[in-house]
Chains A and B, each alone.
Chain A
Amino acid sequence: MSLKLYMHYISINIRSVMQYKTSFLFTAIGQFLISFQVFLGIFFMFQRFSNVKGFTYSEVLLCFSIMLLEFSIAEMYARGFDQFSGMVRQGTFDRILVRPQNEILQVLGSKFELTRIGRMLQAIIMFIYGISKSEINWTVSKIFTVFFMLIGGTALFTGLFLIYAALCFFTLEGLEFMNVFTDGAKEYGKYPIGIYGKRMLQFTTFVIPYALVQYYPLLYLLGRKTNIFYVFLPLLATLFLIPCYLLWKWGVYRYQSSGS
């Protein structure tokens, strides 16, 4: 039932967007270009350097493309969270509260950002390019690893967007720092986290589990780790959604008691 309603939301979103086809097209192309220049940055760095801490060009591309794909999927359907500060400021959230449906579903439904298809396309091209350049021996477990990485990574970014939205209930100022964890992670997650040093790896393993969806499974894909445990690590990252959800619930509770 909820899924049917969500699909209805998506369809109305797409119909709205299609009222402005040119704008949609330009924005999608722009999204493509923005990620393309990140790729060019990697490309030119590797014109000069043969590897970074043991990771070659094609391996970095694989890493970059999977991260980008996860981010763009999350951004596409969880954009409602990203614009949540506006919803709280303009009082649109009141409208959501006077409707007999789950609040998260309604927020997600409020904005489906189809233009992220440009970024996704970029990610898919890079992914194919990275695979063709790399010498990975594909096995069933490796295919599952990629699949789990996408699930875990999308869940992780969704969780971060949810935190951002939840924080809007407490303050509408200074939320810019959340960009470090969303856009920043997409930006710097293009390189395997291992290159940033041991402390960064610890932080991204135990606090915000980027490494679980990026670094460790990547090592498995590249054949540097063989323990089957690494295949399932990305799924562990979905647990990150639990504290995010609790924070959101607390935020809604607070909103209902402060009314602002």
Chain B
Amino acid sequence: MQKYLSFFRLRFSMGVQYRTAAFAGVITQFAWGAMGILVYWAFYEVDSNAFPMTFSAVVSYIWMQQAFLAFFTVWMMENEIFDSIMNGNISYELCRPIHIYDMWFSRTIANRLSSAILRCFPILVVASFLPKPFGLQPPTSLIHFILFLLTLLLGLAVTVSFCILIYSLTFFTISPAGLKILFTSIVEFFSGAIIPLPFFPEKIQKIMELLPFASMQNVALRIYSADMTNRQMFSAIALQIFWLITLISCGKKLCSIAEKKVSIQGG
């Protein structure tokens, strides 16, 4: 545990060092969120009855999405891991007394956590002070807030375990760039990063909600503004746990196969 903690500290202080980058990131995400909200506002003004969520729920969804972007974007993968697989440096990692899956997992979590912690507060603060209806509303209840935090972390874990699946697939492909871009676009679409899942037609939405991608950002962002009923919430959390376990066990299996492949072929 100690080594993971020290790795996290190292990452965090590296993140702090690039203060301008963090600041620019905040501005970018803020502008991105604001534009997104303006689009939904334009549609809302045309036909508020066709809106599947309350407008304030959409607004909270978007601000939270921007604040915790570092948790959920799949294109933000660890390039160092990709490089180490491609140039064969991964064989050095295999010599260390540490499981490669655990190392990737903790390092990706650490990176995403440190980056989100640096960036989320300014966005949350400014977004809460914006005038109605464009501002971020406080959580519906304490229970919702606690469940939001829980599902946020679960969602992060699901996203990370999915990313590691892609890292390990890199061992078996000739085009990691293609693999990455392919999965990125699938995840973005099905996780609700392009438009929130409730905006899809009901039948499609039902199917999408069962997929692992819906267990990433969708659950937490909708629980925050009470867009789900109690029943929906608990089944969503159960699904998150199910997918987390499934993805981790698949990932570990794939990793051990890949490790064998490396040790046989020598990289």
The reply to whether A and B meet directly (CB within 8 Å) is: yes
Contact B178 A191 (CB under 8 A): no
* A124 interfacial contact with B, CB 8 Å: no
Question: In the complex, what's the smallest C-beta–C-beta distance from B180 to chain A, in angstroms?
Answer: 8
* B80 interfacial contact with A, CB 8 Å: no
Q: Which of B149-157, B193-201, B239-247 contacts A (4 or more CB under 8 A)?
A: B193-201
B residues at A contact (CB < 8 Å): 18-21, 23-25, 27-28, 31-32, 35-36, 38-39, 42-43, 45-47, 50, 52, 174-175, 177-182, 184-186, 188-189, 194-195, 199-201
A residues at B contact (CB < 8 Å): 20, 22-23, 25-27, 29-31, 33-34, 36-38, 40-41, 44-45, 47-53, 171, 173-177, 179-180, 184, 187-188, 191, 195-197, 200
Docked CA distance A176–B46 (Å):
34
Docked CA distance A175–B180 (Å):
24
Contact B178 A23 (CB under 8 A): yes
Contact B25 A196 (CB under 8 A): no
Docked CA distance A195–B39 (Å):
7
Contact B185 A33 (CB under 8 A): yes
Residue of B nearest to A181 (CB): B31
Docked CA distance A179–B75 (Å):
15
Contact A176 B52 (CB under 8 A): no
Docked CA distance A151–B28 (Å):
27
Residue of B nearest to A34 (CB): B185
Contact A44 B43 (CB under 8 A): no
Docked CA distance A188–B40 (Å):
12
Contact B199 A22 (CB under 8 A): no
The B contact surface, by secondary structure, is helix
B19: A residues at CB distance < 8 A:
173
**A49-B47, A195-B42 known; A188-B35 Cβ under 8 A:** yes
Contact B181 A27 (CB under 8 A): yes
Question: In the complex, what's the smallest C-beta–C-beta distance from B197 to chain A, in angstroms?
Answer: 10
Among B23, B38, B189, the residue within 8 A (CB) of A200 is B38
Contact B28 A180 (CB under 8 A): yes
B42: A residues at CB distance < 8 A:
52-53, 191, 195-196
Q: Which of B18, B23, B43 has the most CB of A within 10 A?
A: B43
A47: B residues at CB distance < 8 A:
201
A27: B residues at CB distance < 8 A:
175, 177-178, 181
Docked CA distance A196–B36 (Å):
10
Residue of B nearest to A31 (CB): B181
Docked CA distance A158–B36 (Å):
24
Among A23, A31, A41, the residue within 8 A (CB) of B195 is A41
Docked CA distance A200–B199 (Å):
25
* A-B CB contact pairs (8 Å), 26 listed: A22-B178, A23-B175, A23-B177, A26-B177, A26-B178, A27-B177, A33-B181, A33-B182, A34-B188, A36-B185, A37-B185, A41-B189, A41-B194, A44-B199, A44-B201, A49-B50, A50-B47, A52-B39, A52-B46, A173-B19, A177-B24, A177-B28, A180-B32, A184-B28, A196-B35, A197-B38
Contact A45 B177 (CB under 8 A): no
Docked CA distance A30–B47 (Å):
34
Question: In the complex, what's the smallest C-beta–C-beta distance from A170 to chain B, in angstroms?
Answer: 11
Question: In the complex, what's the smallest C-beta–C-beta distance from B181 to chain A, in angstroms?
Answer: 3
A26: B residues at CB distance < 8 A:
175, 177-179, 181-182
Contact A177 B35 (CB under 8 A): no
Question: In the complex, what's the smallest C-beta–C-beta distance from A24 to chain B, in angstroms?
Answer: 9
